[in-house]
Structure 1
Amino acid sequence: MRDLASCLSQTGVQVAHPSSSSAQSMVQCAYLARLRGKSCRVTVTWSKAAMGQALAIAVHDPSGRCLCKTEIKPWLFSKRKGSKAMEVDGGALDILWDLSSAKFAGGPEPVQGYYVALIFDLEAVLVLGDMPRVGDHKASSDALPCDAAMIARKEHTYGKKVYCTKARFSDIGQHHHITIECDTSGTKDPSLEIRIGKKRVLQVKRLAWNFRGNQMFYVDGLPVEVLWDVHDWLFGSSNGCAVFLFQSGRSMEKFLARSCSQDEKERQVHRFGFTLLLHAWKV
C-alpha cells in the first residue's frame, strides 16, 4: 500500500495524526496560485477551538520556502473586517478580509457572506468567498482577477457510523457529496463503504484483515485514488480516528502523455490534481 505521507509531499497539507484530546474543528486548504508570474502555494487554515475562531494564511514558493505568513488569532477574530500589508520579495502583499456577515454551517470555515483576498501589487493572488470585494480598499477594487485553484484540503469530521463531506476533484468539475459508512459496533464482521453522490465506489469486506488499503475509481471521467486506514476504529479507543485520502491527478500522467506536450501536461496535472485528507472521528 502507498504511504499517506509520501502522497501528500507536494500538497502542503500536514499529515500529522492528531490525538482525540487535541483534535479541534479545523479545515486547511492549499491553493496553487501565481505571484509575480511564478507559481506559489497559499495555505489557508480555518480553525475553531475553545478560545474562538482563527484564520491563518501562509505563502510558499515552489521550493517550499515560506515567503510570508500571518494569523488572525482567536481573541482578535472579533475584528471581522480589516487588512494587513506585508513585504514579499520587495513588493507589497495586501491581505484583506471581511467576515462581518459570514455565515457558518457548524464548522470553522464560512460558507457564505465573507471575503478573503491576497493582492500583490494590484494583482489578485487569491480571492475566496462570495462577496464581490472589500469595497473600501483600493487594492481590492483595482486588482486584476486571479486563476488560483485549490489543490488540497484537510478536514476533521465526526460521527457514529456515517461521515459526510464534499469535494471537487478538479477546478472545473462539480462538487460531489462524499459519504463514508462503517459500523464497527455490534458486528463481528464490519465492512466499509464509500459513496460519491448516490454511487458506491468502494466496499471493503473483512475489514479486520483489510483495515488499510487503496483503490482507484473514476469521477467526472478522472481517476481518483482513495487510501484508507481504519486501524484505530477497530483496535483503538472508542473515539478513535480513521484517515482517508482521496487523490486525483497523479494518475493523469499516462492519460495526458498520449496527446500533450510536457509543458501542457504539467499545466493539466496542476489543473486536475486534488487531494482530500479526511480525519474521521467516532463520537
Structure 2
Amino acid sequence: MRDFPTCLGENGVQVGNGSCSSVNRVSQNTVICVYTCKLLDLSCLITITWSKNLMGQCHSVEISDLSGQSLSKFVLKPTLFSKRKGFKSLDILNSVKIGLFWDLSSAHFGSGPEPLEGFYLALVCDNEMVLLIGDMKKEAFRKTSSTPSIKNATFISKREHMFGKRLFGTRVQFHDDGPVHELTIECDTAHDFRLVVSLDSKIAMLVKRIQWKFRGNHTIWVDGAAVEVFWDIHNWLFGTAFGDAVFVFQTSTPTTTEKTLVGRRAFSGPCVPQWPDCFEDSKTTGLGFSLILCVCKHD
C-alpha cells in the first residue's frame, strides 16, 4: 500500500491564492466531471463543469485532447440561464461537428450546483449519442434523433468543492453500472478527534486520533471492489479558521492519461488539490475512477 504522507510531503496538497473566505464559499461551489470518449477516430476528454456563484447557476462543456489541450468550449452563463434548454453546434479541429443538447427546464438541484434529476445533457457526433448524462434519456434520444454509440464514454473523474463545519456529503457512483451512493465525511476536531467516512449511512472507514494521523490512506470495499482512500486534513487541525482538506477516492491505479488530467486540470479556486507525486510513475497501468474532494471547513 502506498504511503500517502511520504509521497505528499508537507506541501503535497497545495493551496492556491488565499484561504476559503466567506465569499469564496459561495463563488467557488463547483463540481467538475470528466469523461473519455471517441469522436469518430479522435480520442477526447469531455469536461462538464457545474458551478454556482452569486449570479446563479451555470455550466460549461469543454472538449480537449488527451494532453489537455482545449479543442472547443461552450459556457452557459447565469445571465443566459433562462434558456434552460437548447442546442449548440461545436466544431472540433474544423472537421468534426458535435451537437450539444441540454434540457434543464425541469431540473431539481440539491445544495450543490449539480442537478440531481429532471434533466439531460447530451453530445451527438455523426448521429450517434456519444455522451448522455441525466435521467431524461428517452427525451434526449427523441430530441436528438440519434442512436446509441457503440463506443460509450467512460466517467473517469469527479472533483468537487464542499463546505461546512464537521459533516460533508455528496453522491458518488464508483462504477458505470454500479449504484449511486450517499457519501458522508465527518470530522470531529474538537473532542473525539476522529474521522468517519460513511456510505449510505454505514461506516466504511474510521480513523481515531487524527491529530496524529492527519495524513494517510486506507482501502475500503464498495460494491465488491477495492477503493483506496487518501486524506490530508493537516490544515483543518493546524491551519486557519477556514481550513481546507483533500480527500481522494480511487477505484484503481490511474493511467498516464488520468494522472495528467487530474494533476494539470484540477480546481482553479482557493483550494487546489494536486495529484500526489508518487502517482506520476509512467509504468502504472489500469483504468479507474477518481473522486477528489476539496473540503473547506468553517467554525
* TM-score, scaled to structure 1: 0.80
Contact 2:130 2:148 in 1 (8 A): no
Contact 1:168 1:176 in 2 (8 A): yes
Contact 1:133 1:141 in 2 (8 A): no
- Sequence identity percentage: 43
Which residue of structure 1 lines up, in the alignment, with residue 20 of structure 2? 20
Q: Secondary structure at the match of 2:67?
A: coil
Q: Which one of 36, 40, 43 corresponds to residue 36 of structure 1?
A: 40
Whole-angstrom CA distance in 2 between matches of 1:236 and 1:16: 11
- TM-superposed deviation, 1:65: 2.5
1:248 and 2:254 correspond: no
Contact 1:225 1:246 in 2 (8 A): yes
User: For structure 1, which runs of at least 5 residues remain unmatched after alignment?
Assistant: 5-14, 253-265
Which residue of structure 1 lines up, in the alignment, with residue 110 of structure 2? 105
**Aligned residue type for 1:225:** E
1:133 and 2:150 correspond: no
Which residue of structure 2 lines up, in the alignment, with residue 219 of structure 1? 222
Contact 1:178 1:197 in 2 (8 A): yes
1:230 and 2:245 correspond: no
Contact 1:194 1:201 in 2 (8 A): yes
**Aligned residue type for 1:96:** F
For the aligned residue pairs, the C-alpha RMSD in angstroms reads: 2.5
Which residue of structure 2 lines up, in the alignment, with residue 144 of structure 1? 148
Q: Secondary structure at the match of 2:148?
A: coil
**Aligned residue type for 2:228:** E
Contact 2:141 2:147 in 1 (8 A): no
Contact 1:33 1:42 in 2 (8 A): yes
Which residue of structure 2 lines up, in the alignment, with residue 73 of structure 1? 77
CA shift digits 1:225-259 (9 cap, x unpaired): 1110111211122232211110112189xxxxxxx
**Aligned residue type for 2:139:** R
1:280 and 2:267 correspond: no
* TM-score, scaled to structure 2: 0.76
- TM-superposed deviation, 1:37: 4.1
Shifted more, 234-243 versus 110-119: the winner is 234-243
Which residue of structure 2 lines up, in the alignment, with residue 117 of structure 1? 122
Q: Secondary structure at the match of 2:242?
A: coil
Whole-angstrom CA distance in 2 between matches of 1:135 and 1:180: 37
CA shift digits 1:73-103 (9 cap, x unpaired): 1211221111111211302111111111111
Q: Which one of 37, 54, 72 corresponds to residue 50 of structure 1?
A: 54
Whole-angstrom CA distance in 2 between matches of 1:98 and 1:122: 19
Q: Secondary structure at the match of 2:237?
A: helix
- TM-superposed deviation, 1:127: 1.0
User: For structure 2, which runs of at least 5 residues remain unmatched after alignment?
Assistant: 9-13, 256-284
- TM-superposed deviation, 1:61: 2.0
Which residue of structure 2 lines up, in the alignment, with residue 260 of structure 1? none
Larger RCO: 1 or 2 (CA < 8 Å, sep 6+): 2
